[in-house]
Amino acid sequence: MAQKPPEGPDAAAVTTEALKVRVTIDLSRIGNRLQNEALRLTTDYQQRGLTGKVLADAVAGDLESLFALDIERAGREATHEAFALGRNLEAQANAPRIGMVVRSEILDQNTCDPCMGLDGRTVAFNSPDYFELMPPNFCDGREQCRGVYLYRSVA
């Protein structure tokens, strides 16, 4: 089911809080994984005879390489989501000036098949189709989706 963004006078506050919660959850998951992996690596290296600074450096190096991509991905996903929701909030503030929207998926070669199939699709602003087709809905990459709506002014 398509997720409809917040509307109305409190939409910006609701959106901001939702993004804060999302980032907190993402960081909590990464933190829990980091703690578990640190314990596993420490035990593994201790069994190999490492101690002191050598042990600490080995664990830190492995953790850094293991989690750099996870942290980068979480940041990228939160940024994409904030950008998309911010565009929608601004569009809602300018609703009388917007007639139609076009879904655009032409950033690069990393566009998934479902998004590529929606590229160029035009719908009426704030219609049921607008909310149903809003990126990242239908995207295989979900939070990594970089599809956007292009807003067309009323003639």
Position of tokens 């911010």? 86
* Beta carbons within 8 Å of 124's beta carbon, 6+ residues apart: 99, 100, 101, 130
**Whether the predicted pLDDT of 2 surpasses 80:** no
Q: Is the peptide bond before 136 cis (omega within 30 degrees of 0)?
A: yes
Band the pLDDT of 19: cuts 50, 70, 90: low
pTM summary value: 0.58
pLDDT tens by residue, 105-139: 887 678 999 999 999 999 999 898 998 888 888 88
**Whether the predicted pLDDT of 1 surpasses 70:** no
Rounded Cα gap, residues 77 and 82, in angstroms: 9
For residue 114, the model assigns a pLDDT of 93
pLDDT tens by residue, 59-100: 888 888 877 777 777 777 777 777 877 888 888 888 899 999
Rounded Cα gap, residues 56 and 53, in angstroms: 5
Structural domain boundaries of the chain?
Answer: 1-93, 96-155
